[in-house]
Amino acid sequence: MKPLAANIFAIKRYALHDGPNIRTTIFFKGCPLACWWCHNPEGIDFHSKVLFLAEKCVGCGECVGHCPEKALGLTSKGVFRDDDKCTSCATCVQICPALAHEATGRSMSIAEIITEIKKELPFFDQSGGGITCSGGEPLSQPESLLALLQACGKLGIHRAVDTSGFAPVETLLEVARHCELFLYDVKHMDSPTHERFTGVANDLILANLKALGDDGHAIRVRIPLIVGVNDDGKNIHATGAFIADCKGVQGIDILPYHPSAIAKYRKLGEIYKGASLTVPTKAHLAGVAEILKKYVVDVNIGG
C-alpha cells in the first residue's frame, strides 16, 4: 500500500507568526477559496506544477536532455517548456544547477513530514512551541492532516491549525479532536461581499466557528484587514459582536493587508487582484483594534 501522503508547498522552521512560541509551519497545497489578497497564491491550486525562472537560467541545457517527456527545449533565448507535454514530474527541478526550475508543491509522506518536524523538537520543548498546519487550506486534505496531527500528538507536540473554516463541520470537529489551537480566519460578515472577494459564501465558515466553540475548542480569530473591503466600522462591529457570541475564542489577531505577494503572482504568471489595495495605516489599525476590544479582551495587531 502506498504510504499516506500530503501535497505540501512549503515547510518553514522558526515560523514566528503562526501561533505561540517557536513553530514549524506546514503549508498544505490547495484552497477552496481564492481571496483577492492571498499572500500564498502558490497554495491555491490543488495541483503542483513546475515554473521556469528565466532570470536564473544559465543556459547549460542540462534539463533538456534529462526531461523524460521531452517537454523542454533550448534556443538562443534560453529554455522553453511545452506545457502540454510537461507532467510536472520535477526531474528538471532536481537537475538544474541554477535552481531555474521550481516546483510549486510536492507530495510528501507523513513520515517524511514528521522527520522534518522532529528536527525542531528541542526548540518546541524549550519554548513551548509546536507545529502549525496552514496552507492553502489544510482541512481540504483531511486524511493527511489527521494522520499528521495524530502522529504529532503521539510525540507530545503542540498542534495548531490555521484555517479558513471552509470545510464540512464533521471534518472540522474531527480535526479539532487532534489539535490544541485553531487560528481561524474571519474575513467578512456580509455573505455576498465575502463571496465576491473570496469566492465562497460565509455561512458555513461562521457556523463552523460557532460549532467549534460549542464543542469546547480553543480558537484565535484572525482578521485580514483589507482597506475598502472589510475595514468599515459596520463590518468590524458586526465581526466583534459575532465573535463575542462564540465560545472558545481566546483573542483576535488583526493581520494588516500587505502587497508582498505581488512577486509570487508574477512568478506564477497570474493576476494579483489585490495589487491595487492599500496598506492600512497604524492609526487605522489602532482604531479597528479599539472597536474589537469592546467585544473581545485580547486584540493583537500582527500574527
Binding positions for other proteins, rule: CB under 8 A: 12-18, 20-22, 25, 39, 58, 60, 62, 97-99, 119-120, 122-123, 125-129, 255, 258-263, 266-267, 302-303
Which is closer to other proteins, CB of 18 or CB of 45? 18
CB of 256 to other proteins, least distance (A): 9
Q: What angle do CA 25, 27, 32 make, to 5 degrees?
A: 140
Which is closer to other proteins, CB of 143 or CB of 298? 298
CB of 130 to other proteins, least distance (A): 12
CB of 231 to other proteins, least distance (A): 17
Which is closer to other proteins, CB of 12 or CB of 237? 12
Amino acid identity, position 296: V
Cα distances (angstroms) measured from residue 230 to each of 12, 124, 180, 224, 283: 29, 35, 29, 8, 16
Which is closer to other proteins, CB of 27 or CB of 146? 27
Strand positions, DSSP E, the chain: 5-15, 23-28, 50-52, 72-75, 78-81, 101-103, 106-109, 130-135, 158-163, 181-185, 219-225, 249-256, 299-301
- The C-alpha atoms of residue 169 and residue 218 are separated, in whole angstroms, by 16
CB of 203 to other proteins, least distance (A): 26
Which is closer to other proteins, CB of 197 or CB of 272? 272
Amino acid identity, position 97: P
Which is closer to other proteins, CB of 152 or CB of 255? 255
- The C-alpha atoms of residue 33 and residue 135 are separated, in whole angstroms, by 11
CB of 177 to other proteins, least distance (A): 26
Backbone CA torsion sign across 118, 31, 145, 259: positive
- Structure-derived torsion over alpha carbons of residues 156, 167, 43, 224, reported in degrees to the nearest 10: -90
**Pair 175, 147: CB distance under 8 Å:** no
CB of 1 to other proteins, least distance (A): 28
